[in-house]
Chain A
Amino acid sequence: MTEEQSRRKRDAGQSDCLSFTISIWRQQGLNDKGQMVSYPLKRVRPEMSFLEMLDVLNGELERKGEELPISFDSDCREGICGMCGLVINGVAHGPGHGTTTCQLYMRSFADGSTITIEPWRAAAFPVIKDLVVDRSAFDRIIQAGGYASINSGSAPDANSMLISQELASEAFDAAACIGCGACVASCKNASAMLFVSAKVKHLNILPQGQPERHKRTVAMVEAMQQEGFGNCTNEYECEAVCPKEIAVEHISFLNREYLKAKVAGK
C-alpha cells in the first residue's frame, strides 16, 4: 500500500492496517536443529519498519506466554550499524535497493501475503538463536589486516599528506561497507569477497595504507579462506543486496591487488 492509498483509506474511515502470515526460523540454540514456524499477524501499520513489525509480533508472543519471543539482532535502526541482517522472502535485507532490514517498511509487502524470514546462512556464520548469527568471522578478517599502523604521537601538520577529492571519494565508497554480511548471505557460495574487497580497497588506495598494502591483502584473503567462506563465481548477487551499494568492481580490484602482492613475494 502506498502512503497515498493508506491516507485515502484512513480519510474514508477504514482501517489501513495490514495483516500477514509470518513464517520464521525458530532455533533454540547453536546445536538445535531448528524449523520454520508460522504466525498470523494483524494490525500492522504500513509505516512500521520491518523490525517494529517483529517487535509487535514479539509483544503478542509475550502476552500469550506460550513461546519465547523471537531473537533477532538490531542496534542503530537507522541503517548504519549492520546488525539487522535477515533474509526476507529469499532476499538478504528484503526488497528495496540499498537498504538494511531496519530501513524496510511494511508498505513494501502486499496485504495478506506470507513473509518468510530466515537467518544468514553460511558455515562461517553459525546461527546462535532464531535469527541471530555469529558474525565474528568478519571481525577476525578485519583483525588480520583491516587497519593501518599510524604513529598517533603528535598531530601531523594540516595538509602534509595530499589526497585528491577523487581518491578520497573512491576510498569512502569502499569504506561505506558496514560489515552486515548480506553479501555472504545472498551468495550461493557464501563468499565474503565483496566485504573483503571493500575493506582492502578503502585502505589500499590511500597513502596511509601503503606500507602494509601487500601484507594486508594477503592476510585478509587468507583469513577469509580460513573462516570457511566460499569462492566467488561471479554471479553478482552480493552487489544487488548490499545496503551500501558496494559494486563488484571492488572484487576485480581485490583480485588484481592479490596478484600484485603475490608477484611482490608476499
Chain B
Amino acid sequence: MPSKLFSSPIGKKMGMALTGLILYGFLIGHLLGNLLLLKGDGGQAFNAYAEFLINHPLLIPAELFLVVVFLLHVYLAISVTRENRRARPVGYQATQSVGGRNFASYTMIYSGIIVLVFLVLHLKTFKYGDKAEGTLYDLVSATFQQTGYLVWYVIAMLVLGVHLWHAFQSAFQTLSVRSDKIRSLGLILCLILALGFGFLPVYLGILK
C-alpha cells in the first residue's frame, strides 16, 4: 500500500511541493552566481565562476539531478492539472472569488509552460551557445544587446515571479506548514528572484 503514495492526490501534491522547492533552491543559487555580472570587471569574476562550475566533478550529477527533479515537477503538474479539469467538466455561468484565489493561482499551468519554454531557449542560448568567439560573459553581453531577446527575457522572468508567488506558500501548506511569515517570505523571495533575474539583462543590455 505505501506504493500508492505517489499516485494519491496528497502524494502527488507533496511531490510537486518538494520538486518545486528544490528548483526554488537552484534559482536562488543561480541568481547569487549571476550577481557576479554586476561586478564591472569585464566579466572576469563571472567567467572564473563559470569555469569553476564547468570543471567541478559534481557538475554532471547535479545537472542530472536537476533535470530529473524538473521533469518530475512538470509530469506531476500536467497530471494534477488534467485530473482537476476532469473533476469539473461543466463550469459556472457566474464565478466570483471570495477566498485566496488570485491571478497567480489559477494560471499556474500557463506560467509553468512559459517557464518551460523559456528554460529550453535559455539553455540553448547560453549553456549550449556558441562560445568560440569569446567567453561566456561575451556571449551573455552580446545576446542582451538584441532588444527582442531582452524584452522576452524580462517578461519571462516576471512570469516566473508570478509562478513563484503562489508556489512558495502553496508548497509549505502542502507540506503542512502554514503561517503568515511563510506568506511574506514567499512574496519577498519571488520579488527578489523575478526582479533580480529581470534586472541583470537590463543592466547588461542597456545600462552598462
- Asked, given contacts A123-B87, A225-B9, A229-B87, whether A234 binds B174 with beta carbons under 8 Å apart, the answer is yes
Total contacting residues, chain A, CB less than 8 A = 52
Answer whether residue A70 sits at the interface, using C-beta atoms and an 8 A cutoff: no
Q: Tell me, in angstroms, the Cα distance from A252 to B169 when the chains sit together.
A: 12
Flag if A191 contacts B87 (CB, 8 Å): yes
Answer whether residue B27 sits at the interface, using C-beta atoms and an 8 A cutoff: no
Answer whether residue B134 sits at the interface, using C-beta atoms and an 8 A cutoff: no
Answer whether residue A91 sits at the interface, using C-beta atoms and an 8 A cutoff: yes
Answer whether residue B101 sits at the interface, using C-beta atoms and an 8 A cutoff: yes
Q: Tell me, in angstroms, the Cα distance from A6 to B80 when the chains sit together.
A: 50
Flag if A237 contacts B99 (CB, 8 Å): yes
- Asked, given contacts A231-B84, A236-B100, whether A252 binds B9 with beta carbons under 8 Å apart, the answer is no
> B10-18, B113-121, B149-157: which one contacts chain A?
B10-18
B61 neighbours in A (Cβ, 8 Å)? none
Closest 3 pairs between A and B when the two form their complex, measured CB to CB? A230-B87, A240-B99, A90-B96
Which A residue's beta carbon lies closest to that of B177?
A: A252
What 0/1 pattern do residues 244 to 266 of A give for CB contact below 8 A with B?
A: 00001101111110110011011
Answer whether residue A218 sits at the interface, using C-beta atoms and an 8 A cutoff: yes
> A48-56, A77-85, A154-162, A182-190: which one contacts chain B?
A182-190
Flag if B88 contacts A189 (CB, 8 Å): yes
Can you sample 16 A-B contacts with CB below 8 Å? A36-B93, A90-B92, A121-B90, A121-B91, A123-B86, A222-B4, A231-B80, A235-B106, A237-B101, A238-B99, A240-B99, A241-B99, A255-B174, A258-B8, A258-B10, A258-B11
Flag if B87 contacts A228 (CB, 8 Å): yes
Flag if B173 contacts A222 (CB, 8 Å): no
Chain A contact residues, CB within 8 Å of chain B: 23, 25, 36, 87, 89-91, 116, 118, 121-124, 186, 188-191, 193, 218, 221-222, 224-225, 228-241, 248-249, 251-256, 258-259, 262-263, 265-266
What 0/1 pattern do residues 68 to 80 of B give for CB contact below 8 A with A?
A: 0000000000001
Q: Tell me, in angstroms, the Cα distance from A215 to B199 when the chains sit together.
A: 52
Flag if A237 contacts B87 (CB, 8 Å): no
Which B residue's beta carbon lies closest to that of A114?
A: B94
Q: Tell me, in angstroms, the Cα distance from A25 to B4 when the chains sit together.
A: 39
Q: Tell me, in angstroms, the Cα distance from A240 to B174 when the chains sit together.
A: 18
Q: A224, A236, A239: which has the most chain B beta carbons within 10 Å?
A: A236
> Beyond A23-B93, A258-B11: 7 further Cβ-contacts under 8 Å?
A116-B93, A121-B91, A188-B84, A188-B106, A190-B87, A262-B5, A263-B2
What 0/1 pattern do residues 51 to 79 of B give for CB contact below 8 A with A?
A: 00000000000000000000000000000
B13 neighbours in A (Cβ, 8 Å)? 231-232, 255
A225 neighbours in B (Cβ, 8 Å)? 8-9
Flag if A255 contacts B14 (CB, 8 Å): yes
- Asked, given contacts A188-B101, A241-B99, A255-B10, whether A122 binds B173 with beta carbons under 8 Å apart, the answer is no
B9 neighbours in A (Cβ, 8 Å)? 191, 193, 221, 224-225, 229, 231-232
Answer whether residue B25 sits at the interface, using C-beta atoms and an 8 A cutoff: no
Q: Tell me, in angstroms, the Cα distance from A211 to B160 when the chains sit together.
A: 46
Partner of B173, one of A251, A259, A265: A251
Q: Tell me, in angstroms, the Cα distance from A25 to B90 when the chains sit together.
A: 12
A251 neighbours in B (Cβ, 8 Å)? 173
A241 neighbours in B (Cβ, 8 Å)? 98-99
Flag if B8 contacts A222 (CB, 8 Å): yes
Answer whether residue B83 sits at the interface, using C-beta atoms and an 8 A cutoff: yes
Which B residue's beta carbon lies closest to that of A232?
A: B13
